[in-house]
Structures are given as C-alpha cells and as structure tokens.
Amino acid sequence: MKILITGGAGYIGSHVVKALGQLGYDITVFDNLSTGHREAVTYGDLVVGDLSDKAKLDELFKTRKFEAVLHFAGSIVVPDSVSDPLGYYLNNTVNSHFLLSLCQKYGVNQFIFSSTAAVYGMPGDGVCREDSPLAPINPYGQSKLMTEHMLKDLSFASNFRYVALRYFNVSGADPEGRIGQSFPKATHLIKVASETACGKREKMDIFGTDYATPDGTCVRDYIHVTDLADAHVKALEYLAKGGKSEVLNCGYGHGFSVKEVIARVKEITGVSFTVVEGPRRPGDPASLTAKADRIQQVIGWKPKYDDLNVIIKSAYEWEKKRPF
C-alpha cells in the first residue's frame, strides 16, 4: 500500500513510520522539519515541504498515487495555542482542509488523523469517553475538533473513510533506541523531567498545585509511543479491510499526577533534581484519563507497554543518548 505520512519526521509520526516500514509499506513522508528531524525517518522517502505549499503537495498526490494518508503534521503546544490562536487554526485546521481536498480530488479514501484528548475540554469526572461532550478549552483542542468535523462530514458525503485517534499523553521512546522525542523546547512532563534528570535543565516547573485532584496537581493518562504507533498500524489495517469511519481514544484508562510522575522519575533515575512549584498554565484541565475499551474492541489493539516505569525508563535512556 502506498501511503503518505504528513509530519512523519516528528515524534509520534517517526515511530509510526518505523512500525509501518518494518511491515513493508511504501511510505512517503512529507515534513517541513520545523520540529521534526531528518534522521528520525528510518523508512521510506522524505519529501521536505510545508502543508501550505499547495502546488508541491498536489504534484505529490498526482505522481505517487497514494492509497491512504496518515496526518500528523500540526502544532501541539497548548499554551502557545492560547497566545497564537490564529496560527493554530491555520496550521491545524486550514492546512488539514487543503489536505482533505487533495484526498477528495485524487480519490484517496482512507485517512488516519492525529487528534487529541484536548477535544473533551474539562469532563466532569475527568474520564473521557468517545461520546463524552466535546468542549475544548483551548485553541489547540478546538483546531483539532474542527478537523474532526470535516472528516465526519466528508465521510458522510462520499466513500471517504477515516479513523480519528484521540491521543492522551504520549511519552517514552522506541525500545530499540533508534528514535525518541527530540521536540525542541518540549513541554511534555516525562520528557522535561528526563531532561532535568540528565542535567540538561537546571530545574523543572510544576504548573499549578491547587487543582481538585488528590495532590493538587494535574492528572493525565500516559501512553507509550510504541503502543500508540501500533494503534495506527491496526487502524490502517482496519480501514484496508473496509472498516467504517471511527473515532477512538488512545490511552490506558488510568492516570498519574504530575507529582507522582516526577517522584517516579527521581526514583528510576536516582537523581534528585530541583522542582519549582508555580501558578497554573492557561488551558490545562485538572484531570484527563481515557475510557479506552472501544479501540481494543473495534480494531483489536492490545497495548504492550502499559507500565509507567517502562515509559519513564525508555524516555530517560533516549535522553541520555541525545547531546546537550
């Protein structure tokens, strides 16, 4: 199968490229390398370009005759979306609209979308189900939800089929050590804690200790990036077999607080680094965990790395390999 992977040089995209490449898929990666890395593309052909370059992307669709698209390219930092909402709507929504228009133009009817738990906003009990109310509290979540709406409407109007995977907190690194999270100025908790344990940061911050959670810090559902990559493989296989359009949560169904994660990082690494408690960041809900049984029922996904210690250890081992 000939597939296009946008954002395939980034953190999650590169792990999916590796998983699909090992299975023999014919892969074209399209990435502007603004946050991705050329060396992270371990399979397929890397084409450097931006989703806003309509002529270049149109030519790629015309010549390579893709059968499916996996769409990872986009902006992902919640606080940045609050300060630059129009930039997020442009990159995450407008560019997705153009990508979908090319799928329609060239008859590409299988599509996997990198969505987010941020579409749920602030669920009352902190647990997100696929049919929970959708009420994003930041432009990042809203920009992703707008694309979900486009997917749903296009699917209704044609034979286009998609799987939108709503990610929870993706962490860890390739167990083989080939790739990992190299996002500049990362805000992901386990990544930041690992950098601090390695001495790449003098300290790390906790943003808010007064949330309505057991220890006052935010609670999140952490999923190993390799398990998430496998979910994309299963989703692609599902669509190839004629599966109908679906929206599925990608998480483990249980959460850990910021303080719990930091304590675990210190324990695993043996490093007692400095942690500074500060005020809340804009756009952060108190608790987000997945109700994650549907993804296992619908596409047969079975996680292999549902262990916070394993996630942290892989992230730390990757961080130790990266230059300061």
The span from the CA of 138 to the CA of 145, in Å, is: 11
Q: Identify whether the C-beta of residue 302 lies closer than 8 Å to the C-beta of residue 224.
A: no
Q: Considering the domain boundaries, does residue 93 fall inside one? A: yes
Asked if the structure places residue 184 within a domain, the reply is no
What are the tens digits of pLDDT across the range 37-48?
A: 999 999 999 999
Residue 56 domain-assigned?
Answer: yes
Which residues touch 255 (CB under 8 Å, ≥6 apart)? 126, 219, 220, 221, 222, 287, 288, 289
Q: Assess whether 19 and 118 both reside in one domain.
A: yes
Residue 78 has pLDDT above 90, yes or no: no
| Calpha distance 168→252 (Å, rounded) | 9
Same domain? For 228 and 214 the reply is no
Arithmetic mean of pLDDT, 299-322: 96
Predicted pLDDT of residue 171: 97
Q: Which domain holds residue 20?
A: 2-171+222-250
**Across-strand partners of 289?**
127
44 & 110 share domain: yes
**Is 176 within the bounds of a domain?**
no
The pLDDT of residue 59 is 97
Regarding whether 66 and 196 lie in a shared domain, the answer is: no
Task: Assess if residue 179 is contained within a domain.
Answer: no
Task: Decide if 55 contacts 33 (C-beta within 8 A).
Answer: no
Per-residue pLDDT reduced to its tens digit, 104-142: 999 999 999 999 999 999 888 899 999 999 999 999 999
Q: Is residue 297 part of a domain?
A: no
What three-state secondary structure class fits 189? Answer: helix
How is residue 240 written in tokens?
């190839």
Beta bridge partners of 163: 112, 246
- Position 95 in a domain: yes
pLDDT tens-place string over residues 226-257: 999 999 999 999 999 999 999 999 999 999 99
Give CA torsion, residues 31, 247, 109, 49, to 10 deg.
Answer: -10
Q: What number of residues does the chain have?
A: 324
162 and 308 share a domain?
no
Please check whether residue 183 is in contact with residue 9, taking contact to mean a CB–CB distance below 8 angstroms.
no
Alpha carbons 295 and 71: distance in angstroms, whole number: 19
If asked whether residues 207 and 234 sit together in one domain, one would say no
Total count of domains within the chain? 2
**Positive/negative CA dihedral, 120, 187, 193, 251:** positive
In this prediction, residue 281 carries a pLDDT of: 84
Which of 46, 116, 49 lies closest to 81, judged by CA? 116
Residues 133 and 211 in one domain: no
Which residue numbers are catalytic?
A: 140
> Does one domain contain both 115 and 98?
yes
Q: Which of 13, 323, 9 has its CA nearest to residue 165?
A: 13
Task: Phi first, then psi: give them for residue 246, nearest 5 degrees.
Answer: -145, 155
Percentage with pLDDT > 70 across the chain? 99
Average pLDDT in the 287-307 region?
96
- Confidence at residue 324, expressed as pLDDT on a 0 to 100 scale: 67
Q: Do 156 and 233 belong to one domain?
A: yes
210 shares its domain with 88: no
Q: Specify if 296 maps to a domain.
A: no
- Mean pLDDT of the region 85-100: 96
> Is residue 36 located within the same domain as residue 89?
yes
What CATH number is given to the structural domain containing 15?
A: 3.40.50.720
Could you tell me if 234 and 268 lie in one domain? no
* CB of 218 closer than 8 Å to CB of 285: yes
**CATH number of domain containing 287:** 3.90.25.10
